[in-house]
Amino acid sequence: MGLFADEPIPRGTPVWRLLPEFDHDFSPEQFASLPQLARDHARWFCFVSKENGHVILSGDHACFINHSLTPNTGAPLDAARPVTTQALRDIATGEEITCNYFNYDADTPWKLGLVPRDAPLGAGPEEKI
């Protein structure tokens, strides 16, 4: 699975931003109170904010953007909050849209299989159980 450009995306074009009325922003307590099946689904498609530990579940197709150490989307280093992800370079029609999970997702080790599947939310490789 992945997300692919259906038209050219010029460098600097906004690609994603949090829309509070559309995306879900769960506090750690709200996430923990969800039924297990809901937590399992959300964890697969969410990212965990490195800033506050909130679980962000995108309501659009951004949840299908795959990880790359050389991504074609991301946030500028000096980005103001709330962050808008943008194309870091021109993206061609048919090209996969990627981002570097390590830049923003505290649950990246889990998503990349670096910790066991039953590791706690946001666990780093040093926190293996």
Q: Residue 112 belongs to a domain with what CATH number?
A: 2.170.270
Q: Is residue 2 part of a domain?
A: no
- Choose among 108, 94, 83, 101: nearest CA to 15: 83
| pLDDT tens-digit series, residues 5-62 | 999 999 999 999 999 899 999 999 999 999 999 999 999 999 999 989 999 999 999 9
Write out the two tokens for 9. Answer: 């995306």
DSSP conformation class of 95: P
Tally the domains of the chain. Answer: 1
**How would residue 129 be classed by pLDDT, with cut points 50, 70 and 90?**
very low
Q: Is residue 4 part of a domain?
A: no
Read off φ and ψ for residue 91, nearest 5 degrees.
-115, 125
Q: Is residue 61 part of a domain?
A: yes
Q: Is the pTM of this model over 0.85?
A: yes
Q: Is residue 5 part of a domain?
A: no
DSSP alpha helix (H) spans, 11-107:
28-33, 36-45
Q: Is residue 6 part of a domain?
A: no
| pLDDT tens-digit series, residues 67-107 | 999 999 999 877 777 789 999 999 999 999 999 999 999 99
- Whole domain around residue 86: which residue ranges? 14-123
Distance between CA atoms of 126 and 95, rounded to whole angstroms?
A: 35
Q: Is residue 25 part of a domain?
A: yes
